[in-house]
Amino acid sequence: MEEDKETHYDEHRLWLEKQHKAGRLLFSGPTTDGVYGIYIMLASSLDEAKEIAAEDSHHRRGIRAMEVLEWDPRHAFRMDKLTIADVEQMARNG
């Protein structure tokens, strides 16, 4: 599996870049031990988030298992006067 991950990393990276540019991903990156990759995604529903995440080449190829969790953020650290809705709007507008 590790060899597959390296072989298809560029495809995975390009997919991530595309999602960031489209305003769908706010953050992405590996855990410090390299075991997992995590991204914070904007989606209108849990089903939409699962559909988008399923397009990731690492999930399509079975290189990584996919787990999608719905999250309801309430606060953002040091984002004085900005709301979560403001952050979502900024992400969508690039």
* Site of tokens 């699962």: 50
Q: Residue 18 sits in a domain of what CATH number? A: 3.30.70.1060
Quote the pTM value: 0.75
Strands (E), the chain: 25-30, 37-41
Find the domain containing 54 and state its range. 2-93
Q: What is d(CA 11, CA 34) in angstroms, rounded to the nearest whole number? A: 18
What pLDDT does 79 receive? Answer: 65
Structural domains in the chain (count): 1
Furthest C-alpha separation in the chain = 46
Q: In the predicted model, what is the mean pLDDT of residues 77-81?
A: 69
pLDDT greater at residue 86 or residue 19: 19
How much is the mean pLDDT over the chain? 86
State the burial class of residue 28 (Cβ atoms within 10 Å of its Cβ: 0-12, 13-18, 19+).
Answer: middle
- Beta pairing partners, 37: 30
